[in-house]
Amino acid sequence: MIILNLACAGEHRFEGWFASSAAFETQQQQEAVRCPICGSHEIKRLPSAPHLARPAPTAMPAVQGSTPAQQIMAALQSQAARSEDVGERFAEEARRIHYGDAEERDIRGVASVAEARDLLAEGISVLPVPAKKADLH
C-alpha cells in the first residue's frame, strides 16, 4: 500500500491510497481517480515524502520503584532547583524577560489565575505548578 499526494486541475490537494505506483497509473489512465472535491479526473501526482512502515515504539522503561506521579514530581523539583524564585513578582519578571528588559533565565514564583491568563494572552509561556508540599503546611 502506498499513499500519494495528488492534485486536480483545479489545484484541490488530496491523498490517494493505492496498492502500488503501477495501480495508480492504471487507475489514472482509466480516469478512475477523481478529485473528491470537484470530481475532476485530471489528476497529477505531487512530490511527497515516503511513508515507511515502522514498528510501534516501545514504552520507555520505568524507573524502578517510581510511579508516573513521582517521576513528574522529580522533574518539577529538578526544574525548581535550576530556577530563580521571584515570588510575588512572577508576572512582572516574566514580562521583563519576554520583552528583553531583563536577562533570560528560568524563573518561578506566584501569580494569580488572572495574571497567568494575561501572560498567556501576551504569548508568554507559563506553567502553573502546585507549591512545594512544605509550603502548604
pLDDT in tens, 30-58: 999 999 999 999 999 998 766 556 666 66
Say if residue 88 is in the same domain as residue 40: no
By the 8 A CB rule, do 2 and 53 touch?
Answer: no
Average pLDDT over residues 112-116: 91
Say if residue 86 is in the same domain as residue 119: yes
From its phi and psi, is residue 108 left (phi > 0), alpha (psi between -120 and 50) or beta?
beta
Question: Would you state the pLDDT for residue 118?
Answer: 94
The answer to whether residue 74 sits within a structural domain is: yes
For residue 73, the enclosing domain spans: 68-129
Question: Would you state the pLDDT for residue 137?
Answer: 42
The answer to whether residue 135 sits within a structural domain is: no
- Locate 69 and state its grid cell: 506521579
Predicted TM-score (pTM) of this structure: 0.47
**DSSP-H helix ranges across 1-137:** 21-29, 68-81, 90-98, 113-121
Total domains, the chain: 2
pLDDT in tens, 56-75: 666 655 556 678 888 888 88
